[in-house]
Amino acid sequence: MNSSIFRRRRLRWSVIGLLVFVFAIALHLAPLAPAHSSTQPGSPVPVIQDQMLGIKPDWTRITLRSLPAILTSGSFEAPTDLIRELGYDPSRLWQAGQTADEYLLLGDFQDSFQLQRFSLSDIAALVGLDWEALRLADLALVGWQTIADLVQAIPDLADLPVREVPPIADLLQGQLEVPQTIAEVVQNEVLAELSLGELNLEQYELSAIPGLIDAPLETFQNWQQSVIDQIPGLADVPFANFPNPIVEQGVVVGMVDVVFGPAEGDRTNTISGSYVEGFNVPCQADCAHLELAQPELVKGTQWISGKYQQVQGGRGTLASANGGLEPTGRHPFGNAFKVAVLETDEATGTAETGLYFRMCVRNAFVDLGCTPYFIGPIPWLPIQEKGMIFLGQIKEGLSTTDSAEVAAAKGIDPQTGEPSPTPTPVARTSSSPGIATGGFINPAPGYPITSSFGYRTHPIHGDRRLHAGTDLGTPNGTIIRAADGGQVTFAGISGSLTSGYGRLVIIDHGNGSETYYAHLQGFFVRQGDIIAQGDPVGRANSSGGSTGPHLHFEIRQNGQPQNPMNYLS
């Protein structure tokens, strides 16, 4: 069939398409019912019917191990000089049929998911890992630690006698003079460099090294080279529970009008590309694509197939991998991976999509950047004509000119999508949306108060203490909004993922006034952002010391907690 026939077909569907779009808008305006999880027919991963975003992945049930197997084999070989500069070899190969945890490294996600912030005890709490049954050999990175490295990662070891740490005691057997304490061991340059890899680590329990399970993975030497499945339990942690979990980038949902095959050409109104080339890369030939119908923002735009179009990608030294090319596509879920349209079928009006990962290599001394997104494809959500598809950011995409200021305010390099070393806040002026109004709105209206401000029996610790805020019974994923305008002074983990505030946002509203938003699932903001009253700051969850999903909301004046209900308008 030629393109004119498809255009006639598109006209016949225009009225139906408009009705579908109106129905979608009606769903957006209707009271939100709880999302339900299922496996969509044809979907290789669990999905949620989200009334704001349509069919979306259920990140609470998707893990690096449960992602579909990669479809094609490939490899990356690091040059000798890069291996020498880095101190380890990031080369690898992957075979079709492997799952992501078998070929991706911890260092690949140090900026996106920040998995290195996990400790084994964090992982155990999330997936029910029985770490007491594990051996030192089960945590592969132990094998390339020296005694000095261990003390660097677990400083309290220095205070212990050698005899209380069996692996170290065994390493020192045969020495003429064995120091009494580990602190004395590391003062001896020769003994300090003895490697645990010289031992049979299968003979030791994890508890043989006190403090090992509580040390963040990033404190160990060369943690970046750990394959995901070499860290017990990590491959089974849901994406929603990562230290920096997936947050949808924007809220634009489009309706697919027509699916076109590779016979199409000369397409210039595109919304696909890369961080390097932007997301409006034209296509001259072999332009298989999706053409979008609704909303008006994306009407008539084309998402070009990454099977047929390659674009420039990557950054730094590693940008030359794969010839510097990656499939064209989009990043609706951030920069951890890329979503590409693959095969299109005009006859059935359907298309396949896939995920592509990349490699990033950096340590304290060397930053080699990231390869293009070329590790893939991994089967992803199917697409059909007149169906809805989540697009993420459009007008505020990180590649567009009008978004450079927005990206800088979020601490993101507009060209690469990578975090900038120092976030640059948008200047606060008389017309700035970040100016505080002086009043506070409810950050999650419509949800009941489940625990009020004041003294109470703590639900976890059992003692009587001040509850410094108000708890709102928000389900997982509820969008939490800023109670007033101001500057974000903190957006990170306070305590840990299983204690304290968990994922927390703090906003400074000036004049000594601050608001706290705790137990979040993920963030829409970064430290340094200037935001307006009502702007989304994150999604609700139960991270930190929490017995279930809710928002813990605080208002503080000059550092002292106040009853939020006395302030909300």
Q: Where are the domains of the chain?
A: 3-62+247-326+339-392, 91-241, 449-566
The whole-angstrom separation of Cα 223 and Cα 105 is 9
Q: Where are the beta strands (DSSP E) in 338-446?
A: 338-345, 350-357, 360-362, 367-370, 375-379, 383-384, 388-392
Please tell me which residue, 10 or 311, carries the higher pLDDT value: 311
Taking Cα atoms as reference points, which of 204, 231, 206 lies closest to residue 217? 231
Copy the structure tokens of residue 299: 């009407």
Amino acid at 102: E
What's 72-104 look like in SS3? Answer: CCEEECCCHHHHHHHCCCCCEEECCCCCHHHCC
Does an H or E element contain 20, and which?
helix 14-29
57-110 pLDDT per residue, tens: 999 999 999 999 999 999 988 888 888 887 778 888 999 999 999 999 999 998
**More confident of the two residues 27 and 205:** 205
> Quick one: the chain helix, strand, coil %, rounded to 5?
25, 30, 45
Average pLDDT, the chain: 82
C-beta pairs of 38-45 under 8 Å, 24+ apart in sequence: 40/381, 40/382, 42/382, 43/381, 43/382, 44/68, 44/379, 44/380, 45/380, 45/381
Q: By the 8 A CB rule, do 531 and 537 touch?
A: yes
Tell me, what's the pLDDT at 360? 86
Residue 144, φ and ψ in degrees, nearest 5? -110, 20
Percent of the chain with pLDDT over 90: 48
Angle between helices 3-12 and 14-29 (to 10 degrees): 50
Taking 70 as the threshold, does the pLDDT of residue 1 lie above it?
no
Residue 10 sits at φ, ψ, to 5 deg, of -65, -35
Q: What is the pLDDT of residues 159-177, one digit of tens each?
A: 999 999 999 999 998 776 7
The amino acid at residue 438 is: G
Please tell me whether the peptide bond between 295 and the residue prior to it is cis, using omega within 30 degrees of 0: yes
* Rounded CA separation 186/160 (Å): 12
Cβ contacts of 511 within 8 Å, gap of 6 or more: 436
Predicted confidence band of residue 239 (pLDDT cuts 50, 70, 90)? very high
The pLDDT value recorded for residue 410 is 44
On the question of pLDDT at 140 being above 80, the answer is yes
Tell me what pLDDT residue 397 has: 36
Q: What is the DSSP letter of 486?
A: E
Percentage of the chain modeled with pLDDT above 70: 83
Tens digits of per-residue pLDDT, 520-564?
A: 987 888 888 888 898 889 888 888 888 788 999 999 998 888 999
Output the pLDDT for position 358. Answer: 93
Report whether the peptide linkage leading into residue 423 is cis, meaning its omega lies within 30 degrees of zero. Answer: no
Separation CA 452–CA 471 (nearest Å): 6
Average pLDDT over residues 1-13: 40
Residue 462 class from Cβ within 10 Å (0-12 exposed, 13-18 middle, 19+ buried)? Answer: exposed
Six-digit token pair at 334?
């951030």
How far is Cα 536 from Cα 102, in angstroms, rounded to an integer? 36
Cα separation values, 158 from 165, 172, 181, 195, 235, Å = 11, 15, 7, 16, 32
| Tens of pLDDT, residues 327-336 | 999 999 888 9
First to last CA, the chain: 60
For residues 563 and 553, what is the distance between their CA atoms, to the nearest angstrom?
10
Q: Is the pLDDT of residue 224 over 70?
A: yes
pLDDT tens digit sequence for 271-309: 999 988 888 899 999 999 999 998 888 889 999 999 999
| CATH classification for the domain delimited by 449-566, as one of 3.40.50.300, 2.130.10.10, 3.40.1180.10, 2.70.70.10 | 2.70.70.10
What pLDDT band is residue 434 in, cutting at 50, 70 and 90? low
- 3-state class (DSSP) for residue 10: helix
pLDDT of the residue at 437: 86
- pLDDT tens sequence across 22-50: 333 332 333 333 332 333 457 899 888 76
In angstroms, rounded to a whole number, what is the distance separating the alpha carbons of residues 43 and 167? 48
- Which residues touch 158 (CB under 8 Å, ≥6 apart)? 151, 181, 182, 183, 186
pLDDT given at position 322: 92
Interatomic CA distance for residues 272 and 280, integer angstroms: 6
Backbone angles phi, psi at 78, to 5 degrees: -80, 135
How many residues make up the chain in this entry?
569
- Which alpha helices (H) appear in 372-527, and where do they start and end? 404-409
Which amino acid is located at 434 in the chain?
A: G
pLDDT of residue 238: 93
Highest mean pLDDT among 45-59, 200-214, 451-465: 200-214
What pLDDT score does 52 carry?
Answer: 61
Q: pTM score, two decimals?
A: 0.66
Q: Are 249 and 332 in contact (CB under 8 A)?
A: yes
pLDDT in tens, 370-412: 899 999 999 999 999 998 888 887 753 333 323 333 444 444 4
**pLDDT tens digit string along 301-320?**
999 999 999 999 998 888 99
